[in-house]
Amino acid sequence: MSFDAIYRIAGSSMNAQTVRLNTVASNLANADSAAARPEDVYKARKPVFASVYENGELNRPAGIGGARVQVLDVVTAGREAVRRHEPANPLADADGYVYYADINQIEEMTDMMAATRSFETGVEVLNRIKSMQQGLLRLGEV
Amino acid sequence: MSIKIDDTIGVHARALELRTLRSEILAANLANEDTPGFKARDLDFSSEMQRLDRGDAFSSRVGDAQLKYRLPNQAALDGNSVELAVEQAEFARNATDFQTSLTFLTMKFRGLKQAIEGR
């Protein structure tokens, strides 16, 4: 009987959601950064999650057990830069255009809420498991 | 009359072990809520308990449990079959059942202690 795997799983989930929140914060912060050329525009970042199955424990065949979350990569989502006519902007080119990243703020906000909720689920699991293990430790005290 | 510890503790020790395994599976479902293509899994507690009860030393290990895939009420487009509310409810119930088994065990031990001390 081991609680280690559960702690690992909940921890990996919270870690993955933190990475996700990190990308959301970065995307929202750079939503209004202008660039002189479309190539230089900030690109929205998105994490890629994958599951890693727990095995290799003693007395337990492979495949029986939970799965951790792994952040495989943080990729840049390929959306076209938006061109805006702002002649007063110091970055504007000869025709008066600057380029902005096409970041959907509503999408980022919903992503943020979903990530927060998943993180809280991880905290809840940890608390629950902690009380289960503490109960088990107190078993002898009758 | 002799007291047999195994008979006294009975089913609860195995139940605790199975509950721990199940909470690992459910924790994994909760953790992979946002992983594309992840399929929620679970084990059938009552049939696993029956298997442990009738099994011999080789087939009665908790680690040999059969995992089954959860049928989602509404499948997601990315192939993920985790439904947060369902998994949270199952996880909470499993944790409460764990505490129940623990309480039963504590009561058994208390009874044993009283019998030993002759009170």
Residue closest to A43 by CA, chosen among A112, A113, A100: A100
pLDDT (tens digit per residue) in B9-51: 778 888 898 899 899 999 999 999 999 999 999 999 998 888 8
CB contact (8 A) between residue A5 and residue B113 = no
From chain B, the residues in CB contact with A71 under 8 A are none
ipTM higher than 0.90?
no
CB contact under 8 A, B30 and A121: yes
Q: Is B94 exposed, middle or buried (0-12, 13-18, 19+ CB in 10 A)?
A: buried
**Cβ within 8 Å, pair B64-A122:** no
Query: What does DSSP say about strands A82-85 and A97-100: parallel, antiparallel, or unpaired?
Result: antiparallel
pLDDT digits (tens, 9 = 90+) for A29-87: 998 888 888 888 998 999 999 998 876 555 566 667 788 999 999 998 777 888 889 88
CA distance B94 to A69: 22
pTM: 0.86
Considering only CB atoms, which chain A residues are within 8 Å of B68? none
